[in-house]
Chain A
Amino acid sequence: MNPTTVHPDAAFEPRVIAPAHNAMTRPLYWSIRRELWENRSVYLAPLIVAGVVLFASMFSVFGLPRRIETLASQPAKLHAAITKPFAMAPAPIMLASFLVGLFYSLDALYGERRDRSILFWKSLPVSDRTVVLSKASIPIVVLPLIALALSLATFTIMLLAASAILLANGMSPATLWREVHFIQEPLTMLYGLTVHALWFAPVYCWLLLISAWARRMPLLWVILPPFAIVAIERIIFGSTNFVSLLRYRVVGAMQEAFETQVGRPGVIERVWQLEPARFLSAPGLWLGLIFAGACIAVAVRLRRTREPI
């Protein structure tokens, strides 16, 4: 029989079930797409921030010809004046994507129970694991990729605009192109985003776990347990180890993954400032990832058990 022939009366015959790899990746792909349909802030918020950053950076771009002229005799200051706007631009975009990730994770498995749409999602052949993984991938994979794309676009537009301004003022953009590390800068962005995604994965996954568990006020339940541990530790042992642990989680990625002691702290522009080996050998990274995995596993179980609220 010709396999391409479709008989209308064959409509009720059981169809061939999609091959195994399809059965795994297709629902995951569509689940991620559906998250983006529902949560447009995932790409809109970083996009708006990128627009604001670009707008603000245009002021420094317009002043560039003057600065190059006045600082021509001081190469160190000239370098800083030229590169600083480029090195600073990705930070607000990354911060925005981080914040969106936090709010997204907190509501991801709570919202669907609150509006009862979980009954619809559960009526489809998508496993709880696929759903939880698709939701975890938004802050850990999708948002960093969006931030990277927007940072690169901002970087490129700034570079082109600066070159155009210099040309318009009858100056050569050669100085600009020599000072700005347009290979190292994007590499640093990629590295920084990867590092932060891995480092903050336990935070996102903890939020997902609470959003799967809480019957009301997930934000309270996110904050309460760490707060309780801090208080109990202080009262019983008089120590502050847990506070240090939390602080380490907040700033640890910068500490472990970058060499910030040299020169100006906080501004990362050169590949030699990256410390991937030190980052990958930090126990904090791996303990965090184990914690993240455990949160995901519990969230998958909870999604099966929990009912609409």
Chain B
Amino acid sequence: MTCIETRGLRKRFGTTVALDGIDLRVEEGRILGIVGPNGAGKSTALHAMLGLTSYEGELNVLGLDPWTERDQLMREVSYISDVAVLPRWMRVANALNYMAGVHPRFDRSKAEAFLARTDIKRSSKVRELSKGMVTQLHLALVMAIDAKLLVLDEPTLGLDLLYRKRFYDSLLNDYFDRGRTIVVATHQIDEIQDVLTDFVFVDRGRVVLECSMEDLESRYCEVMVHPEQIAAAQALAPIHERHVFGRSILLYDRGDRQQLSTLGEIRTPSIADLFIAVMDHAPTTAKGTPA
């Protein structure tokens, strides 16, 4: 089943084009990472999917139009955004009561069980919690919702490594199952590489690359080339070249692995390496050709 489908998704803020025709299809049970530089349109795209912003083009989330049917959609979708959005005056107990009151799919006992593993007190106000604890609280609230789609927009921004690791561990161990779909936009792509099933690169409001993790392994390879074979390696049309400790690392798209393995050590690139290669490679003046 398709969870999210967009066709020609566009959004303009005045003269700035935030989304320039995004075509995307996310199947149920996938964990999609959205990667892109600042201002690439990641948040705008996620906001459009959540009914938080208007758009042009086609957008369908769980069979609903987010802009006109947000309240119905939010029964099935939960969301954590890049900024702490939990109201600062709210007490933890208030938050639990309110969620249990308005959300038909909120399971209070699950949230309580998750909170029991943290230092968060029921009587605390959100403003009294540290940033990490606020994120934990938000995660507890969101994980207690039996949602079909979870959208995370830089959910761990500003958290230390330990909190970030716990965040994704909880998400995977306690929450994710094949019936759910997760879409996550983040800069800390290395940390979630093992979590993802798919990823897209977004730049200037367009999808630059759409790839599954299986494709990453089969399609791309990185070779740390022996110095004496650098000319031969460069002749095989690498998409990117970088230098680490005096050694050249060349990245190939659909390279002949047998041939490449004679030039040096071969391995699958990380998403971050591929991202840098693709972004460097992409023409910097990608003028939005009207589609």
Q: How far is the CB of B4 from chain A (nearest CB, A)?
A: 16
**Interface contact B53-A124, CB-CB below 8 Å:** no
Residues of B within 8 A of A263 (CB): none
A13-21, A60-68, A160-168, A229-237: which lies at the interface: A13-21
Judged by a CB distance under 8 angstroms, whether A38 is at the interface is: yes
Residue B244 lies at the interface, judged by CB distance under 8 Å to chain A: no
A125 touches B104 (CB 8 A): yes
Q: What 1/0 mask marks residues of chain B from 94 to 133 whose CB sits below 8 Å from any chain A CB? A: 1001110111110100100000000000000000000000
- The residue that B50 contacts in the complex, of A18, A23, A27, A123, with Cβ under 8 A, is A123
- Residue from the list A37, A116, A125, A307 in contact with B90, Cβ < 8 A: A37
Please determine whether A31 and B50 come into contact, CB atoms closer than 8 angstroms. Answer: no
* Distance, CA A238 to CA B177, complexed state (A): 72
Most B C-beta atoms less than 10 A away, residue of A23, A115, A124? A124
Say whether B104 contacts A17, CB under 8 Å.
yes
Q: Which residues of B contact A122 (CB under 8 A)?
A: 50-52, 70, 74
**Is the beta-carbon distance between B83 and A307 smaller than 8 angstroms?**
no
Mostly, the B contact residues are loop
- Judged by a CB distance under 8 angstroms, whether B79 is at the interface is yes
Say whether B88 faces chain A, with CB atoms less than 8 Å apart: yes
Report the minimal beta-carbon distance from B72 to chain A, rounded to whole angstroms: 7
Chain B residues contacting A12 (CB-CB under 8 Å) are 146, 177, 179
Q: State the CA gap A123–B54 with chains docked (Å).
A: 16
Which of chain B's residues has its CB closest to A30's CB?
Answer: B101
In the complex, A187→B24 CA distance in Å?
A: 63
Tell whether, in the assembled complex, residue B79 and residue A30 are in contact, meaning their CB atoms are under 8 Å apart: no
Number of A-B residue pairs at CB separation under 8 A = 92
Do A119 and B52 form a contact, CB below 8 Å, given A11-B146, A125-B71? yes
Whether, in the assembled complex, B87 has its beta carbon less than 8 Å from a beta carbon of chain A, the answer is yes
> Is B81 an interface residue, CB under 8 A from the partner?
yes
Residue A91 is within 8 A (CB to CB) of chain B in the complex: no
Cross-chain pairs A/B with CB under 8 angstroms, 18 sampled: A11-B107, A11-B146, A15-B105, A27-B101, A29-B101, A37-B94, A118-B85, A119-B52, A119-B83, A122-B51, A123-B81, A124-B99, A124-B102, A125-B71, A125-B72, A125-B74, A127-B70, A304-B70
A-side interface mostly: helix
Does B78 make an interface contact (CB < 8 A)?
A: yes
Q: Smallest distance from the beta carbon of A135 to chain B beta carbons, Å? A: 14
Distance (whole angstroms) from the CB of B99 to the closest CB of chain A:
7
B86 at the interface (CB under 8 A from A): yes
Cβ-based interface call for A5 (8 A): no
The winner among A14, A27, A125, A304 for most chain B CB atoms within 10 A is A125
Q: How far is the CA of A120 from the CA of B89 in the complex (A)?
A: 13
Whole-angstrom CA separation of A81 from B9 in the bound complex = 74
Q: A12-B179, A119-B52, A307-B53 are in contact. Are A33 and B101 (CB under 8 A)?
A: yes
Closest Cβ–Cβ distance, residue B68 to chain A (whole Å): 9
Query: Given A11-B110, A115-B87, A125-B75, list of 11 further CB < 8 A pairs?
Result: A11-B107, A17-B75, A23-B104, A30-B98, A33-B101, A38-B89, A119-B79, A120-B87, A122-B50, A123-B74, A123-B85
Q: What CA separation (Å) do A115 and B89 show in the bound complex?
A: 11
Taking a contact as CB atoms under 8 Å apart, the answer to whether B85 and A117 are in contact is yes
| A119–B152 CA distance with the chains assembled, in angstroms | 12
| Given known A-B contacts A125-B72, A305-B54, A30 and B86 have beta carbons under 8 A apart | no
Nearest CB to that of B99 among chain A residues? A124
Q: Which 9 A-B pairs have the closest CB atoms?
A: A30-B101, A127-B71, A117-B87, A119-B85, A123-B79, A125-B74, A120-B85, A125-B75, A27-B102
Residues of B within 8 A of A124 (CB): 74, 99, 102-103
A25-44 near B? 1/0 per residue, CB < 8 Å: 01101110110011000000
Q: Tell yes or no: A222 within 8 A of B by CB.
A: no
Interface centre among A120, A123, A304 (most CB of B within 10 A): A123
A134 to chain B, nearest CB (A): 11
Q: A123-160 toward B: CB 8 Å interface, digit per residue (1/0)?
A: 11111101000000000000000000000000000000
Q: Which residues of A contact B50 (CB under 8 A)?
A: 122-123
> Min CB distance, B146 to chain A, in Å?
6
Smallest CB gap from A15: residue in B: B105
- Contact of A15 with B102 at beta-carbon distance under 8 Å, contacts A116-B83, A120-B86, A125-B75 already known: no
CB distance from B47 to the nearest CB of A (A): 8
CA distance A103 to B103 in the complex (A): 29
A16 to B12, CA, bound (A): 39
Select which of B81, B88, B94 is within 8 A of A115 by beta carbon.
B88
CB distance from B81 to the nearest CB of A (A): 5
Enumerate chain B residues within 8 angstroms of A37, measured Cβ to Cβ: 89-91, 94
Cβ B87 vs Cβ A38 within 8 A: yes
Min CB distance B202 to A, Å, is: 20
Proximity string of chain B (221-236) to chain A, C-beta cutoff 8 Å, 1 when within and 0 when not:
0000000000000000
List which B42-93 residues lie within 8 A (CB) of chain A.
50-54, 67, 70-75, 77-79, 81, 83-91
In the bound complex, how far is the Cα of B51 from the Cα of A127, in angstroms? 11
A29 contacts across to B, CB distance below 8 A: 101
Please indicate the chain A residues that have their CB under 8 angstroms from the CB of B94 in the complex.
34, 37
Distance (whole angstroms) from the CB of B243 to the closest CB of chain A: 43
